[in-house]
Amino acid sequence: MVERYLIQHGSPTLAGLKTASMFCVPLEEDWETETALWNRRLAQKGLSLTVLRRQNGRALLYLYRPSQLARDLEEPGVKAFLADRGYESMQPDRALSRLRARLGETQRFPHEVGLFLGYPLGDVTGFIQNQGRNCKCSGCWKVYCNELEAQKRFARFRKCREVYTRLWSQGRTVWQLTVAA
């Protein structure tokens, strides 16, 4: 079950095109065992799969490249932005602990979640300032800054999902499709 979600929602992360992906899986039998097994397997290629929240019969999983997340959290302006939201550390494990806490505080997603998915800070702050309106374009996220670059990234992510879905349906495994960090 988890394997299908990794392909459908995590292909750009598996391919190394994106820092992270986030998706929900139903809390079916063995989902925790399967998630832990995939986390161990993917760790060999420099990825992590972790649970961010359990709610309403579903688990919110986060597939990410820790080395890339560490770089993203060090981007100019990110530390100050996250510090304003109670993040005391930019170390991925500690920052993710704070994100889990923030997810537990509300039914909605805290807006900083975009930074954990590799979205540009300008688009995250633009979303907040505009309350989700007036974006230049949207795809994986709403774009407020560099529209052309975002559209190129969206196209790469879409193509990656198409290719990974096709290859997986032809018998390739997630392991074979995962690019090592």
How far, rounded to the nearest angstrom, does the alpha carbon of residue 78 sit from its chain's CA centroid?
16
pTM of the model: 0.96
- Mind listing the pLDDT tens digit for each residue in 118-136? 999 999 999 999 999 999 9
- Distance, CA of 130 to CA of 41 (rounded, Å): 41
In which band, very low, low, confident or very high, does the pLDDT at 58 lie, cut at 50, 70 and 90? very high
> Where along the chain do its domains lie?
2-174
The one-letter amino acid at 173:
T
- Mind listing the pLDDT tens digit for each residue in 135-165? 999 999 999 999 999 999 999 999 999 999 9
Would the pLDDT of 180 be above 90?
yes
- Give 78-139 as a DSSP string: HHHHHHTTT----SHHHHHHHHHHHHHH-SSPPTTHHHHTT--HHHHHHHHHTTT-S-SEES
Q: Using alpha carbons, select from 23, 110, 19, 141 the residue that is nearest to residue 70.
A: 19
In which band, very low, low, confident or very high, does the pLDDT at 109 lie, cut at 50, 70 and 90? confident
Q: What is the DSSP letter of 179?
A: P
Would the pLDDT of 173 be above 90?
yes
Would the pLDDT of 107 be above 90?
no
